[in-house]
Structures are given as structure tokens and as C-alpha cells.
Structure 1
């Protein structure tokens, strides 16, 4: 069985890892769609900190991930057509937006499953970014004594 999930995967963390390991447990092969900066910027105020190519490289290095593909449009039908997953895994904030409804309709007509999962409360990229910003301090200059 092929499992497919999508996301930004910026600042890869244990929440991402838990999601990906769970997805892999659902089937024999895990495909991950990674949103381009343009896609992320269409629904979030800031683009990712880590460039797309590096996010894809990190995901590819994980033993639970078999396929990594980027997507440059906020739609999921073409990815599902390319990957042909048995299960499409989405997060708890999935919602009823047109691009979500389109892929739901496509998958239903193809006899495929959609599985919704809750996010790991231990961490998120947004909370990591907030924590880093709150620790921002002025640079202190070091004075070296003459030897």
C-alpha cells in the first residue's frame, strides 16, 4: 500500500518525524509532498526558513520516507494522480477549502482512503520560530587582550 502526505516540513522536528513514521506504518511505501515557498506564501505570512531543496533532501534521508516530491500549486489532485496512493494522510486543520474538497472528491471516486491525524502537541515549526525569536539578544563584542 502506498501512503501519501503533504506539508511544508520547515525546521524538521520530532512532530514531523512522528507523523512520517505513523504514515509509514499504514503502508509499505511513503510518499511525501513538499510545498514550495510560493505555495506556503499563498496561505501563510512567511515563507519557510529552510529552502525547498534542503527540506526535500532532509526528508529523503529519513528511512521512513520512500518518495519525496515538491508541489508548486495549492492543489493535491495532480500529486495523487502521480503517486496513486491507497491512503492520503492529512492534518487536523484540513478544512473545507476548494483544493481540499477537490482531492477528497477525486480520492473518493478512485476508492482511496483519506485519514486525518492530530498534530503532535510536543512541537511545531511555528513554536520553534517563536522560541528562537524570543531568545534574540544583541551581539556582544569580545575584547581580546593583547598577548
Structure 2
């Protein structure tokens, strides 16, 4: 059984790890699609902090991950087909965008499963980035006060 999930995986954190371990528990092989900077920039205001090759290297180092593949287009059908994925795991913010509906239709027609998971409330890449910005502002203000 092949389980496939996709994401940016910028600033790898415990929420990512929990997702990947859950995905691995669903089947024998876990394949992870990693969004290129171009893909991320098509739906988020900023590109990732960590370059694509480094994000992929971090994922390859995890024992729960068997396959890591980049994707450069905001569509998931080709990845599911190439991997012959049995289960496609999505996040709670999935929505009804055309690329999402296309993979749902493909999976249903192919007799495959789609599983939706809730995000881990313990952390997120966005929260980590905001914390770094906040800390940077505190340090800058302390330096200014010391002058």
C-alpha cells in the first residue's frame, strides 16, 4: 500500500512529523510530494525560507518517509498516478479549488482513498516565522535602548 501526501515542509517541525508518522501508519510506503518555490508562490505570499533541495533532504532523513519527490505544478493527479498511490492524505484546509476537485475525482474513479487530517495545534511554520520576527523586533529594540 502506498500513501501519498504533499506540502511545503518549510521549517520542519513536530506538526510535520506527526502528519508524516500518521501517514506512515496507514500503509507500507510513504511518498511525500514537496512543493517547489514556484508552486508555493502561486498560493502563498512568500516563498519558503528553506530551499527546495534542503527541504527534500530533511524529509529523506526521516525514517518514516520512503519516497520524496518535488512537484512544480499545482496539481496532484499526476503524482498519484505515477506513484500508484492507494491513499492520498490532505490537510484540513483542503477546499474546493479545481486542482483539489480533480484529484478527488481521479481517486474516486480509480477506487483509491482520500483521508483528511487536522493540523497539529502545537505548531506551524507560519507561527515559527512570526515568533522569529517578534524576537528579532525585541532584540532590535533592546539594542536601540542600549545606545
TM-score by length of 1: 0.94
**What is the CA distance between 1:31 and its match in structure 2?**
0.1
Q: Unaligned 5+ residue runs, structure 1?
A: 141-147
* Aligned CA-pair RMSD: 0.9
Misfit runs of 4+, over 3 Å: none
Query: 1:145 corresponds to which residue?
Result: none
| Secondary structure class of the residue paired with 1:89 | strand
| Secondary structure class of the residue paired with 2:32 | strand
| Secondary structure class of the residue paired with 2:45 | coil
Measure the CA separation in 1 of the matches of 2:82 and 2:15: 26
Measure the CA separation in 2 of the matches of 1:60 and 1:49: 18
**What is the CA distance between 1:50 and its match in structure 2?**
0.2
Query: 1:11 corresponds to which residue?
Result: 11
Query: 1:60 corresponds to which residue?
Result: 60
Measure the CA separation in 2 of the matches of 1:132 and 1:33: 27
Query: 1:79 corresponds to which residue?
Result: 79
Query: 1:45 corresponds to which residue?
Result: 45
Measure the CA separation in 1 of the matches of 2:127 and 2:60: 24
| Secondary structure class of the residue paired with 2:95 | coil
Q: Deviations over 1:79-124 (max 9, x none)?
A: 0111111100000000000000000001111000000000000000
**What is the CA distance between 1:13 and its match in structure 2?**
0.1
Structure with more helix by fraction: 2
| Secondary structure class of the residue paired with 1:135 | helix
Query: 1:126 corresponds to which residue?
Result: 126
| Secondary structure class of the residue paired with 2:94 | coil
Q: Deviations over 1:7-63 (max 9, x none)?
A: 000000000000000000000000000000000000000000000000000000000
| Count of matched residue pairs | 140
Q: Which has the larger radius of gyration?
A: 1
Query: 1:91 corresponds to which residue?
Result: 91
**What is the CA distance between 1:127 and its match in structure 2?**
0.1
